[in-house]
A and B are shown apart, each in its own frame.
Chain A
Amino acid sequence: MTDEILLAFLNDFRPSWSEDLRRRVGAATDRFVRADSLQVDLRRFHAPEREQYHATLLLAEMLRHRPAGAGHIVGITEVDLFIPVLTFVFGQAQLGGAGAVVSVMRLHADYYGLPANEGLLLDRAVKEVVHELGHGFGLVHCPDYSCVMSSSTYVEDVDLKAERYCRDCLDLLAHPPETRANRI
């Protein structure tokens, strides 16, 4: 497995800012990042009673599509994601695993009745992708609100944090998992 990260834009979703996203995720993670489109039959993950898509099942699908050369794959979609017990999730990742999914639906300013803002959407998408990748690298939520690994349950939380890992998280990333300190 390599350090390469694949950003997989699902189906027809390929925003104009996808190249900016690729570049900024690469800068934040210090890894080689590739972006590509991926065709997935999303109907299999659709929950009609909720009009949402099952994030955990989609995540499993992402892992099936991970190319041999990619260390991590992040599926990026416009559809709304959920896990069974929660109303929604911005994204989901395997802790210490190779896969993640991120939904940009609730990252749009116009989702909250505000004027559309592509720049803000890109900022938010970068943070969510870097956050989910952090879980893939084995990081848990960080108590530093400005760290990209801080927990976000509102989109405003996403806006508060930076798109980079704080010094403590970088320190944890620099050490093998068995020597990492536990924290909450």
Chain B
Amino acid sequence: MKKPRIMIVDDEQSVRSSLREWFLEDGFEVETAEDGLDALKKLDSGPFDLMIVDLKMPRMDGITLQRRLHEVDPGGTIIILTAFAAVDTAVEALKLGAFDYVTKPVDPDELSHTVRRALEQKRLTEENVRLREKVSELSSSSPIIGGSPAMGHVMDLVGTVAETEASVVIRGESGTGKELIARAIHAASPRRFFPIVAVNCGAIPETLLESELFGHEKGAFTGAHYRRKGKIELANGGTLFLDEIGEIPPKMQVDLLRVLESHRFTRLGGTQEIESDFRLVCATNRDLEALVKNEAFREDLYYRINVFSIDLPPLRDRLEDIPLLTEHFVDKYSRSMGKPPKLMTEEAVELLQSYDWPGNVRELENAIERAMVVGQGNRIRSEDLPLRVEQDAVRPRERSLDALESAHIARVLREESGNVSQAARVLGIDRGTLYNKIKKYGIQSG
């Protein structure tokens, strides 16, 4: 376990050395500073879990130091040391956010108790932030739906790579669910109790991307009023997910490569090296090999990130998953809109399965959401689907026999309310054959 770091700021040498010994015996890593200015300088050696600050000091007193610390690190934990006569000032310090104050000379038990409470509160606060992120991550994530052999293969790969530390590149067209796969890898990995931190490299201007990834110190650039942790630092212990990695600008590629090699970096405007233990997962809809060939993407970075690759099939190559996906989205929007679940008419399902889906699963979800809004009654009809679907769907298009068979079986099963015997009769095949086909196509019959 890492030793907690504590800084003791007091102008009296005897107090500094006494407390230093006291906390060393308690297993802390201890730094001392003789006044506020000295303390600010020593902050460059890295973050402290706790600071014990005297109120009355030359050059910079405890209150001023506290204000400065608050600007640099608003979440820092401070315990004020004060003489009995300065309790009023100590109360001011509490109003400024100090955890507590102790009066010199301090009862050893009181000091020990206050320090433990401060560290426990800090631990709980950090855990709270981590759990909030986790809850938000879980509540915003969608399950991966699909019983097709193509998605089965993808999930096998996810299972294989999740337990390793290997960097992963997820490739696929827009809307195929690359981020869902990244989250599935994280959720199945030993790092799942730490956050997955996502950055969309294509959606952030180059000037902001650097700060987004590496963080910045106060005053690093105009508008940097506070120290800010970057996504790389926040991903410590967990997974860093870089979406649209193919869009990352050349200079950032160099910086990123350096971090991936050492897992160390400095915030913008900072000098202190920070370590972050993260696992990297990237996603792209670009042809990375072509980008490398055209020298738009560094070859050394390519090899660093592309240890394991997962290709997500476009929806048009797994049309047999459409009934399941549709059912999932209908259920999702029924709940969020407070409407009873709707069934799809046969024509509507056929329409969905006849379409190319250039926007993939995201486009399907949007189509179902719209149909749930505009549709009347308890069924979604083909006319409830977005016009673009209808127009495109009338075009003749190539489809595999398997896809058609799977879709037809799914539809009949749905119409027969999941009754396999009845569905087999309608299809003109025996129950055993139907069960085999249900298994083959991964159709949910219930």
Chain A positions near chain B (C-beta within 8 angstroms):
50, 56, 82-89, 92-95, 135, 140-141, 151, 153-154, 181-184
Contact = CB atoms under 8 A, between A and B. Distances in A.
Interface centre among A92, A93, A140 (most CB of B within 10 A): A140
A72 to B, nearest CB: 16
Contact of A182 (B3, B14, B108, B112): B3
A159 B168 CA distance: 56
A81 to B, nearest CB: 11
Contact of A135 (B25, B28, B107): B25
Contact of A153 (B4, B17, B28, B108): B108
B15 interface: yes
B2 interface: yes
Interface residues on B, range: 20 to 34
Given A154-B109, A182-B1, A85 B25 contact: no
A167 B19 CA distance: 28
Contacts, number: 74
Contacts of A182: 1-3, 27
B24 interface: yes
B104 to A, nearest CB: 6
Interface in B7-46: 10, 12, 14-15, 17-19, 21-22, 24-28
A86 B4 contact: no
Question: Chain A at the B interface: mostly helix, strand, loop or mixed?
Answer: loop
B413 to A, nearest CB: 59
B111 interface: yes
Interface of B: 1-4, 10, 12, 14-15, 17-19, 21-22, 24-28, 81, 104-109, 111-113
B106 A140 contact: no
Given A92-B21, A184-B28, A85 B112 contact: no
B25 A86 contact: no
19 contacts: A83-B21, A83-B22, A85-B10, A85-B18, A85-B81, A85-B104, A86-B18, A87-B106, A88-B108, A89-B108, A92-B21, A95-B24, A140-B24, A140-B26, A153-B107, A153-B112, A154-B109, A182-B1, A184-B1
A116 to B, nearest CB: 24
A83 B18 contact: yes
Contacts of B109: 153-154
Contacts of A84: 12, 14-15, 18, 105
A140 B18 contact: no
Contacts of B107: 86-87, 153
Given A56-B17, A85-B15, A140 B81 contact: no
B25 A183 contact: no
A80 to B, nearest CB: 12
Interface centre among B22, B26, B105, B111 (most CB of A within 10 A): B105
B410 to A, nearest CB: 58
Contacts of B4: 184
B105 A85 contact: yes
Closest 8 CB pairs of A and B: A153-B109, A184-B27, A140-B27, A83-B18, A84-B14, A153-B108, A85-B15, A182-B3
A151 B18 contact: no
Contacts of A184: 1, 3-4, 26-28
